[in-house]
Amino acid sequence: MFKQLFSLLLLSGILNGCTTLRVIDQDNATDLSKIQSREAQVKLLDGRQIDAINLKLRLDSTSFFDRTAKQSKVVATAEIAEIIVARKNAGAKKGAIIGVLSGVTLGAIIGFALGDDPPPCDIEDPFEKVFCEIIDELDLPFEGERYSAEEKAVILGLTSGVVGALVGRTIGKAVGQKDRYKFEMKEGKSNP
């Protein structure tokens, strides 16, 4: 059962890395100031993709260091179709939140689905008496412990929430949060 729980948490963590799309007006300096970034992928209108660092956008031009060509470049801001900025810490935070919520929810559902533990053995029934004696001889650590469905939901919810937070944070940090900035052309149409 915990294998399925872990698989579901892992799947939710993988789906965790997400992209936010924002449409940017090239004529608005306030919109452009939001995109200052240390690392980004710059897609130009002619189809070229540039792995950029130290990105600085202005109304008329955009400057950056091209990691592939190993040189500083300046392009007209009007030539940019899209900029993708990856933020690892934001992905980790979002992954942890989604992992906690997924884990708590899934753990609580499983706890309620397991239901209440059965009452202690009826010693009057000879078959159950033999079964109870065998269980007593095993000396199990949880022997005699009986949990209600609500208690199981709380225990499994909290445990799964912690596991979900750790798994989600790890995967979220690896995948990252991607912010996609799609530039709007001056004629009012968006770039392809």
- Give 21 or 142, the one with higher predicted confidence: 21
pLDDT in tens, 96-134: 999 999 999 999 999 888 888 766 665 677 776 676 667
Quick one: 174 exposed, middle or buried, by C-beta within 10 A (0-12, 13-18, 19+)?
middle
Domain ranges of the chain: 2-12+89-175, 19-87+177-184
Q: What is the pLDDT of residue 74?
A: 92
Q: How confident is the model at residue 191 (pLDDT cuts 50, 70, 90)?
A: very low
Q: What is the pLDDT of residue 190?
A: 46
Q: What is the pLDDT of residue 189?
A: 44
| Dist. CA 155–CA 159, nearest whole Å | 6
The CATH fold assigned to 19-87+177-184 is SH3 type barrels. (2.30.30)
Amino acid at residue number 144: G
Percent pLDDT > 70 in the chain is 65
